[in-house]
Every structure is written in structure tokens, then in C-alpha cells.
Structure 1
Amino acid sequence: MKLPDVGKINREFFEKTIYQKLGAKNKDVLIGPQHGVDAAAIKINQDQVMVVSEDPTFSMPSMLDDFGWSIVHICASDVAVLGVDPEYITLCLLLPPETTQEQFETIWSQIHSECEKLGITVVGGHTGVYPGIPAPLNGGGTVIGYGEKQDLTPPTNAEVGDKIMMTKGPAIEATGILAHKSEKELKEKYGEKLIEKAKNRFYQMTVIKDAAIAREHSNAMHDATEGGVLNGVHEIAIASDNGCIIHENKIPLPPEIEAVCSHHKINPLTSISEGTLLLTCPPQNTEVIKKQLEKKDIPSWVIGEITENKKTIIDKEGNKQKLQPIKTDPFWKTFFQTPKN
């Protein structure tokens, strides 16, 4: 048992090293640290809960103009998928010494603007300059929201017979970021139009709107981050102590996503996909969710269902395979090794 070379720790490491050492026990913690669960829920009174999430956010020198946007949406999405609106945020901004005042003002103005649009208030944090950091980093963004206990939609709520739905498509984050990082090379290979479309996937790295629309008719929601769509579904099944079936031929692969992932030799179904909402719901709710999402120009698909025990993926040839957890997301090695061009 060891730490991964890159990326989020796996389930086995979490359970052996972290899960049994969580400080003092508190009966008001309704949803605590769990691998694959996006946020915590703390009891306020008999009916109300406080939902809390924590997330880092990385930047690239070529994308500083978008860094403030990504901080807010990535951090706030983890509260949204539990079925409540994000209301408060604290930030820990760590800056390399070469950061200019103009760059920081751009980042902060974007944080302010996105928070204002979403009704989120900045209530604290930390900002400092430190050597050894290659680019501005959000060391951790804490987001808080309040809601009713009965309205929570954690992955643990998935029920046998639920349909599994997915919004937007796979590898949203991997595509959006790598298309920016390898823009010149990709445009020479695939053409400007397709890669501009791939770059614009960056602005789909949020499930705040998706979750607000779907929560009323969903049992469970989850943001498909590290390990992508396949790992996200596996985490829902594990968290709810159920099985699942995924139909690979029901997962669309848009041309711009296929192009970027193929170029970088990563599997789009197992690559980080912040912005892809995974949800489970009773079969009769799929159409109403789909139609409500369509009104906001958010595409969605039914890609499988929750079952009693086995975790299975049926590939495009119709072969059944065991759905395995993804230990290391292929995006991270590519992200850190790919030079900007």
C-alpha cells in the first residue's frame, strides 16, 4: 500500500490510512469522509443540514484568464451534487513570486464575478506568495450550503432499479484542459474548428446548473471527476452497497473529445470529467429530467442502471466485463508531462 505517483489516492489507501483516523466522533455528522462522496453533511436541527466540501484547483500559465472561473465552479459543484445551493466559500490562493498584480487582479475579479452570478459569498481564506509553486494554485476551496435533510442526494442514496443518467459526455475536463495545453499541435492535426470546440469544453467544467435542475427527481448525484465516467459510476455503486450495469454503446463520444483523448492516448471513459453529472433516478423520472435539462441546453443520456450486486460494463461488442475502480486517472500523467505549445 503506497501513495499514487500522481493524482487522488485510491480507495484502499483511503480506507487503511485515513478512514479510521478522523478525530473526535460527532453524532451530528450525517455524511462524513467517504471515498467517492463529494461533500459532508452536518445536522443543524431535526430537518436542516449544512453541506461542506473542499477542493484544490490547478492552473496553467496559458489559462490564467480562466482560473478564477474554474476555482468557483469546481469547488461549488461538490456542494451542488448533494442537492443544495452553494452559498459561502473560503479560498487558499498560493502564488509563485513571478505573479503580477495584474494577473492576480484578473483571477480575483473572475472569482468575484462568478460568485456574484451564483449567489455565493466569499467569507474568508488566505492569499500568499511562495517560491516553488509553478503557477497560481487554489490550495483548497471550502464551500458551504444549507438545505433540508430529506433533500440530500449523496451517492449512498442510489437504489436498485434506478436508471443511471449522464450529462454532457465523458472526459469534459481532460478535453478542455488538454486542448488548451496542446492547442497548436492539435489544430495542425485535426483543424481549428474541431479544436476550438474542444477548448470550449473547459467552460462545461461545472455541474451546478445540472444538479439544480435534476435534484428534485434524483435519488443520488455524483460529479464524475478523477477516473471519469466509469469510476464515477463504480463509486456510486460502492457507496450505495449495490451493483451496476453500464452500456458502453450508450455513452456518446463527441468528435472533439475523441480527437483530444486519442491524440494523448488516454481513455475518455476513465479520464477526469469535472462537469459530467452522474445521477440515479427511478425509471419514470428519466424523461422529465432529460426534458428539463434540454431547456437549459444540457444534453443527457441513460447509460445504465443500478443492480443488486455485480458491477458490470457491457462493451460496444456486447461483451460483459467486470467494472473495476480506476486507481490512477490517465489524465494526470499526461497533464504534467505535456509541454505547452
Structure 2
Amino acid sequence: MSDLGKVDRAFFDEYIYPNLGADRDDVSLAPQHGVDFGVIETGGRAIALATDPVFVMPSLGFDRAAWFAFHILMSDVAVSGIPPTHLSVDLNLPAEITDEQFATVWETMDEEARELGVSIVTGHTGRYAGCNYPMVGGGTALAVGDPGDLVRPDGARSGQKVLITKGPAIEATGLLSIQFEEILDLEDDVMAAAKDRFYDMSPVKDALVASAAGPVTAMHDATEGGIYGGLHEIARAGGVRIDVERDAIPVLDGVPETCAAFDIDPWISISEGTLLLTVEEEGAADVLAALESEGVPAAIVGETSEGEGVHFDGEAVERPERDPFWAAFEQGMAELEGEQ
């Protein structure tokens, strides 16, 4: 197991995959490494579901922290193509959280849930010794809908187009720029742009707009390992090769400068909010137009073919072994503490 971050495929295959409880006929998509969600089919309905940590960073301000925590929970089921419908959430809170701070977190989550039509149906809440920010519990999000609307994570096939929204290192940029604003030596306009990336850190709208607009065959949120990591997971799940033109990918303002300040590679850095898609060729233009009409930066950046792996401008790129964000965050915290 890696020291920080998600387990790698070898660990998953050795310890987790062989031990998944009972086999059931209603499970139509079981756990796989690098796949965002599972699926149950029952009563003529598909239920996509995914579990993630409740990630709350008080330094962002509790309102922003709660917005991000909620959208992390929604992201993995949104890429199923079925709109999120239900949420179960467990909050194991640090002893120091005040009632007022909790109220801000919960009211923000309620507001975001109402906007998406999501009902919070069960959960658990309490303060406990030994619980610390930012991981303060976990939640399971569900998306209940028509099986015909489901976009499977292993649906990429040869001859399809690859689309990317927003570009690399969205999450790394949004979090690092806000957390370490006082120690980052960036021009005022660059800093403002970097901080603006915070509210790009959700792929929910991207996924729902795209799946409603055309024949999307696979979607994946570029979280740990960034764009390289996410594309590798799509390619492996679908059994295809992916070829991408790097210059075709949008790179949003503030990203290059923030990544350079922390000496991290934006292409392998965590990018919650960046959506990676494969789309049938005849519908790619429609999906792109729909995203752009909703103000989502996006581009057709490549295509799938027979083979395996991910290639940028004809050169193979490896799946990253670790995401540089975590070390950059630790570095920033050390520098910040040194300044205080």
C-alpha cells in the first residue's frame, strides 16, 4: 500500500478484490480498481452507488469546505450518466468543531443537495476523540434511474473520440492557491485566477450535461493521478489505446503558475472537476457544443483505437505511481508554519 492516497492496483487485486462478500445476481457492475462506481439492477431500475470520504478543510472556510465535500460525494455517481438522487452520510467529527461550524457545513450540504434533487436518507453524526480534519467520515451517494441511461466505466471502444473538460490540475490549483495564498509569490491576477479554480472542482454538471447531449460511452473524474491517471483507467477498463494531442487540451488560468510554484507536474496532479469522456464519433460535436453552451471549457482532444495504453503526441505516457499533490501540500504546510 502506498504511504498516502488510494491503494494501487496490485494491493487492490491481492487484498480487496478476492474478498467482496457474497455473489449476487443483482450486482451488474462489481468493484474494480480505478472504476468510480458500482451498479445494482433491480425492479427495472439501475442504482449506481459510490462511497467516498467526507473531506472537510476548515482553512477553506466551512462554507467552501462543505461545498467541496458534497461535490466529492456526488462526483463518482454523476459519471454514471444518471443524475444523483440519494445520499447516506456518516460524520465522525473532531471534538473541537462548534455547533455553529457544524451548522454551516450541514446547511451548505442541504442547499447543494436541494439544487441537485438529492435526498439525504440516512446517516450518523457525532463528535469523537481521535477524529481529525480533513477526513471526518464517509458517505455513499446513489443515482437511481433507467438502465438505458447508464454510462459504464468500461464502455470505451475503438474508433471513438476523447473529450476533456477544464484541463489539468484543477483541484491541485484550487486547493493550493487558497491554502497557501500568503506564501505563494504570484502576481495578483494570477492568484485570483488560481483561486477561481476552486469552484471548478466538481464534474457533476459536466457529466450530466454531456450524457444528456450525445452517445457518451465512458466517463471518469480525473482525481488522484490527474489526467494521465484517469485516461489510463479508461483505456484499461475499455481495452483500448488512447491517443491525445496535448495542445488541444484546455489549460485554465492560474494552473501553470501554481503548479510551477510547487514544482509539480500538472498532468499527473489531482484534478477533481476535470471530466474525461469517450464519445461515439458522430455525437462528439453535439456533446462538445452542449458543454460549451453551459460554460464548461472543453475540447475534443484525441481518439481511441485498438491496442492499449495512453499516448500524448505519439509518445507513450506511464500511469503515475503517486500523485505529487500530497507532498506539495505537506511542503506548503511546513513553509506556512515556518512563517508563523
Contact 1:39 1:78 in 2 (8 A): yes
The reply on whether 1:5 has 2:3 as its aligned counterpart is: yes
Select which of 233, 236, 243 maps to 2:231: 233
Q: Deviations over 1:248-287 (max 9, x none)?
A: 2222333400011111111111111110111101222221
Contact 2:56 2:134 in 1 (8 A): yes
Contact 1:81 1:221 in 2 (8 A): yes
> 1:138 and 1:204 mapped to 2: Cα distance?
23
Runs of 4+ in 1 over 6 A off after TM superposition: none
In the other structure, the counterpart of 1:322 is 316
Contact 2:67 2:109 in 1 (8 A): yes
> How far off is 1:304 after superposition?
1.7
Contact 2:94 2:136 in 1 (8 A): no
Give the secondary structure class of the aligned counterpart of 1:338: helix
Contact 1:154 1:222 in 2 (8 A): no
In the other structure, the counterpart of 2:284 is 286
Give the secondary structure class of the aligned counterpart of 1:170: coil
> 1:174 and 1:136 mapped to 2: Cα distance?
15
Report how many aligned residue pairs link the two structures.
332
In the other structure, the counterpart of 2:50 is 53
The reply on whether 1:210 has 2:206 as its aligned counterpart is: yes
Contact 2:232 2:310 in 1 (8 A): no
Give the secondary structure class of the aligned counterpart of 2:267: coil
Give the secondary structure class of the aligned counterpart of 1:103: helix
Matching of residues 1-341 of structure 1 within 5 Å: 3-45=1-43, 47-63=44-60, 64-135=62-133, 137-186=135-184, 189-216=185-212, 217=214, 218-315=216-313, 320-339=314-333, 340=336
Q: Which moves more between the two structures, 56-65 or 117-126?
A: 56-65
> How far off is 1:238 after superposition?
0.5
TM-score, L = length of structure 1? 0.93
Give percent identity, aligned residues only: 41
Given residue 334 of structure 1, which amino acid in structure 2 is its aligned partner?
A
Given residue 224 of structure 2, which amino acid in structure 1 is its aligned partner?
E
Give the secondary structure class of the aligned counterpart of 2:14: helix
Given residue 47 of structure 2, which amino acid in structure 1 is its aligned partner?
M
> How far off is 1:335 after superposition?
2.1
Contact 1:313 1:323 in 2 (8 A): yes
Q: Deviations over 1:173-213 (max 9, x none)?
A: 11110111111122xx2222211221121111111111111
> 1:300 and 1:67 mapped to 2: Cα distance?
26
Q: Deviations over 1:123-177 (max 9, x none)?
A: 1111121233332534211011112222211220111011110011111111110
> 2:257 and 2:2 mapped to 1: Cα distance?
28
Give the secondary structure class of the aligned counterpart of 1:190: coil
Cα 1:222–1:213 shift into 2, 3 Å: same
> How far off is 1:328 after superposition?
1.2
Given residue 46 of structure 2, which amino acid in structure 1 is its aligned partner?
V
